[in-house]
Amino acid sequence: MSNTTVTALQAVSITSSLMVAGGIATMSLFDIPMLQAQPASRSLPSIRWLFSRGSHIMPTAAFAAGTGFVSLAFLAIPSPAAAATNNILTRVLAGTKTRGYLAAALCNFAIGPVTGLMLPTNMALIKKNEEQGARGRSAKDSIAGKGEGNQFTDLGGPQEKTPLGSSEAEDEEVRGLLGKFAKMNAVRAAFCMIGGVIGLCTALT
């Protein structure tokens, strides 16, 4: 494969990984604290909207980065002559770049299992939004983005507030759920950041 193709793969994979890390980290560092300062009747529609907007973009970009790194790892496998062996596993383990790109790929793919661990918290927040009478959508439909226009072309903002008001106890409960989400979300950002940095360092070696 040409050097131009390899360079393009490196640029896309590293940029995607770091972009995802930055986008996810922004939620934990800025968006969530802002929402925690609001009553639940206002924060719930906003977090549901953020869930829906990010649910396709971020995982897709992380998967693209991981796939790119896997491709780079494959291209970096030492030849049988260079590794003095025909054993593919030995050749993979002997290749410094191969190991680096595989580590970068695994870090990006790791957001999948972490997201799975976050789902109960996410669903609890969306369920609370549903209970507040927000547009009558189920939690499943809300995650899928049903009824709110095209994911990529509809740039309208979230519902301003839920039809029903929230009590102080509900506000406190939602703040706790948001805080739990922010911590787990930061783990996802860390994985993608580490993956991007490993990919960058590997590309520069």
> Residue 24: exposed, middle, or buried by beta-carbon count in 10 A (0-12, 13-18, 19+)?
buried
Q: How far apart are CA 49 and CA 145, in angstroms?
A: 8
- What's residue 41's pLDDT? 85
Q: What is the pLDDT along the chain (205 residues), one digit of tens a residue?
A: 678 888 999 999 999 999 999 999 999 999 999 999 999 888 888 888 888 778 778 889 999 999 999 999 988 887 665 555 666 666 666 677 898 999 999 999 999 999 999 989 988 988 888 877 655 455 455 555 555 555 555 555 556 677 677 788 888 999 999 999 999 999 999 999 999 999 999 999 8
Contact 85, 93 (CB under 8 A): no
Q: How far apart are CA 115 and CA 21, in angstroms?
A: 14
49 CB neighbour count, 10 Å cutoff: 19
- What's residue 136's pLDDT? 47
Give tens-digit pLDDT for 81-124. Answer: 555 566 666 666 667 789 899 999 999 999 999 999 998 998 89
Instruction: Indicate the length of the chain as a whole number.
Output: 205
Q: How far apart are CA 10 and CA 15, in angstroms?
A: 8
